[in-house]
Amino acid sequence: MTSPRRSKTSSPASPSSSENTPIARYSSTATSTPFVPVRSGLERPPTSPQTIASPLFLLNLKAYPGHLGPGAERTARLLEELGRAHGVAVAIAPATPDLARVASAVAIPVLAQHVDPIDSGAHTGFVPAEALQASGAWGSLVNHSEHPLSAVDVRDAVQRLAALGLAAVVCARNVAAARRLALARPAFLAVEPPELIGGDRSVSTARPEVVRGAVSAVEAVAPKTRVLCGAGVHDRRDVAKALELGSSGVLVASAVTRAHDARVAIEELLSGF
């Protein structure tokens, strides 16, 4: 199948996501949670960018049973409750069909799991940035190892999101990829070695040099881009180690989505901030 033609309006000179998505830092020991604007229903985000605070706990629900439809909404409400209780900035990435439902149910940032670098229009089955904006999403993951894009498409996707005031969380498999993809200047870059995703070993403890190296590499080319640590993050020790290595938070999936008790799993991870 031929990929849909992309508009030529996007260019390297387009505004970048990290420049247009301010990142508010605050202490994880604070007694109050950061201000998050509440949006009702399917109200579109304003053209000015949303603020996603860091250090950040970003939960990717993927397409796990129990976290789809009503389950996605329940998990989002739970994450919002526990994030507020722990004073930690939290965000969630539900499956695409659940974006509007979740975005209308909670005030925390809701991100898509994927965006296609195309214009809105006659593109059946694709997800343009305009569709995410209309759903109430705050942005999107880009280039997850389970839904990869070319470097050119990553840059295009980041620029298209930024043009709508939406944040990009670009995923990179190693330090070299992090350095290369950071040139797109996304709001966040998550370093996730694919071999550790869904496993029992966290990249922060099994391969700390990857996290440390990614932080240095990204800072050198895109100092406003925040680095998240992903792949195998399971408990408070993994989170604390990731922050110690210089990351601005974690990207988590299976530690919560495959847990017997999501509340217990989230509480454990938030305790590492």
Q: Phi first, then psi: give them for residue 107, nearest 5 degrees.
A: -100, -10
The chain-wide mean pLDDT, for the chain, equals 84
Arithmetic mean of pLDDT, 66-92: 98
- The set of residues, in sequence order, having a beta carbon less than 8 Å from that of 37 and lying 6+ positions away, is 50, 107
Alpha-carbon gap, residue 15 to 145, rounded angstroms = 25
Q: Which two tokens stand for residue 108?
A: 């925390």
Alpha-carbon gap, residue 251 to 6, rounded angstroms = 29
Please give the residue range of the domain that contains residue 66: 54-270
Total number of domains constituting the chain: 1
Alpha-carbon gap, residue 145 to 191, rounded angstroms = 10
In a domain, 34, yes or no: no
Distances (CA, A) of 120 to 15, 144, 187: 19, 22, 23
What pLDDT is attached to residue 237? 93
Arithmetic mean of pLDDT, 39-47: 39
In a domain, 18, yes or no: no
In a domain, 137, yes or no: yes
In a domain, 170, yes or no: yes
Q: Is 44 left (phi over 0), alpha (psi -120 to 50) or beta?
A: beta
Which of 50, 56, 144 shows the shortest CA–CA distance to 96? 144
In a domain, 71, yes or no: yes
Residue 103 in this model has a pLDDT that exceeds 70: yes
Which of 73, 80, 130, 192 is catalytic? The answer is 192
The owner of tokens 């990731």 is: 242
192 has catalytic annotation: yes
Q: What is the pLDDT of residues 198-248, one digit of tens each?
A: 556 566 666 788 899 999 999 999 999 999 998 789 999 999 999 999 999
In a domain, 17, yes or no: no
**Contact between 77 and 102 (Cβ < 8 Å):** no
Arithmetic mean of pLDDT, 109-126: 97
Percent of the chain residues past pLDDT 70, beyond the cut: 77
86 has catalytic annotation: no
Which of 67, 114, 144, 234 is catalytic? The answer is 144
Domain containing 237 — which CATH number? 3.20.20.70
In a domain, 219, yes or no: yes
